Chain A
Amino acid sequence: MVHLSSETLSELLDGSPAPGVEEHLASCSVCQGELEILRRLRTQLRELPALEPPPDLWSRIEERLPYGRRRRPLGRWGPVAQRVAALAAVFVVGLALGQALNRGGGEAVGPEASAPVAVTAVEDAAPPASMAEAMAEVRRLASEYDAALVNLQRMAQRQGAPEPTPLARQRLANLEALVEASRAALAADPADPVLNSYLFTAVAERDAMVRQLSSARGSGSGVVWR
C-alpha cells in the first residue's frame, strides 16, 4: 500500500486535505499513526516552557538607550553625597565667575550689582538628608547662578560692551538651549556622570561667551562677537 506523503499529512494536520485522502486515512493505521505523531509534536512545541533571558540583558539594553547609564565605579562616597558633589561641580565655573565680578566690584551701576552673583558654596551647607532635598538645593543654586549670569550681561552692557551680532546671539541661544536640555536630562538621572559632563561642558561654553562679552568692554573691541 502507498502511504500518504509528508505534504499530504501536513495538509491533514491543518485540516485541508485533498479529495480522497480521508478515505485512505480511515483504512490505514500507519498513516493514522504518522498523523498522530505530527499532532503530538505540534502540541509539544506549543507547550515548550518560557525561557528567561540572561541576567545581564537589561544592563546591555540600558547601555544603548539614550538616557542609559554608563556604569562607573561608585567610589567611596555615599550615593546622595556623590550625586550632590557631581552636580555641585557644575557650579564651580559660576562661583569663580561671581567672585571675579565681586572683586571688580565697587563700581555698582544699578540695583542688579548688589544682587547675588555667586552661588553658595556647597561644602558650607548642611549635608542633604535625602535625594529630593539634594535636588531641591541644586535647583535653587542653578536659579541663583542663572540670575548672576543675567546680571553679568547687564553690567557688561551698561559699561560699554558692544551689542552682540545676530550670529553671536544665535550661538548664545543655542548654548542656553543646550544647558537647559542637559539639565532636563540630568534631572531624570542625577548620578549619570556622562550627563553631568555634558552639562558641565555646556555651562562652561555658555560662560565663555558671556566672559567674551564682558571682556569686550575693556578693550572696546567687538571682535569676539563677529
Chain B
Amino acid sequence: MVELTEASLVRRARSGELEAMRQLYELHASRVYTVVRRLAADEELAADLAQDAWCNAFQKIQDFRGEAAFGTWVHRIAVNTALTRLRQRSRRRDLEQGFDGRSTLGNPDRQPASAAVERVTVQRALDMLPDGYRSVLWLHDVEGFTHEEIGARLGIAVGTSKSQLSKARARLRALVMESRAEVVDHGAS
C-alpha cells in the first residue's frame, strides 16, 4: 500500500505537482536531514544541504526509474550533495588533520553514563571530528559503504579511506572518553 502510494506520488511529482512533492518530502524528510546533519556536523549547513538535496531530487525526478525505492534514491542524492559540499569545504581546510590514534589507548574504565548522556556524548564527539574523518566513519560504519565506494565518492585512495577510518575511530573514542571524564569530574566536585 505504501509502495503504491509512493509510486503514485512519484508519478504526480514527475508531472510537476507540488503537493505530491510535498508529500514525498514529508515521507523522507527525516531520513534525508539526518544523514546530511550527521555528515555536516552543523545544523545550519545541514539545512542548506537538505534543501539542495531535495531540489536536486525534484529537478532530476524524471531520471528516477523506480529501480530502487524513492527513499533510497533521495538518500543517495543527499549523501552525494553533502559529500560534494564537504569536499569543497575541505579544500579550504586540511582534510587529513593529523591525529595519533595510539595516544588514546589505555584507561578505558570510566564510569558508564546513562544511555541518554552517552548518546549526546557520542553525537557531540562525532560533530567534533574533522570532516574527512567523520565522512569516512559515518559512511563506513553506519551507511555500510565499502572503502572502494568511499574512495570513489571522496576522491581518495582505498588505503587512505582505511587509514582515515582507523584514525576516526580512535579520535571518536578519545573524544568520548574525555567527555566522560568531564562528566565524572563534574559529578565528583
Contact = CB atoms under 8 A, between A and B. Distances in A.
A44 interface: yes
Nearest to B125: A41
Contact of A38 (B21, B30, B37, B173): B173
B156 interface: no
A152 to B, nearest CB: 33
Q: What is the interface of chain B mostly: helix, strand, loop, or mixed? A: helix
A61 B169 CA distance: 35
Contacts, number: 113
A153 interface: no
Interface residues of A, number: 39
Given A45-B137, A65-B55, A51 B169 contact: no
B119 A49 contact: yes
Interface in B102-144: 102, 104-106, 108-109, 118-119, 122-123, 126, 137-138, 141-142
A37 interface: yes
B37 A6 contact: no
Interface string A41-59: 1101111111111100110
A13 B101 CA distance: 15
Minimum-distance CB pairs A-B, first 5 = A6-B101, A10-B166, A53-B33, A6-B170, A7-B166
Interface of A: 3, 5-7, 9-11, 13, 30, 33-34, 37-38, 41-42, 44-54, 57-58, 60-62, 64-69, 188-189
Given A53-B32, A54-B47, A61-B58, 5 more contacts: A10-B165, A10-B170, A54-B43, A62-B18, A69-B18
14 contacts: A6-B167, A7-B101, A11-B166, A34-B105, A41-B122, A42-B169, A44-B118, A46-B142, A49-B119, A50-B34, A53-B29, A54-B43, A57-B47, A62-B22
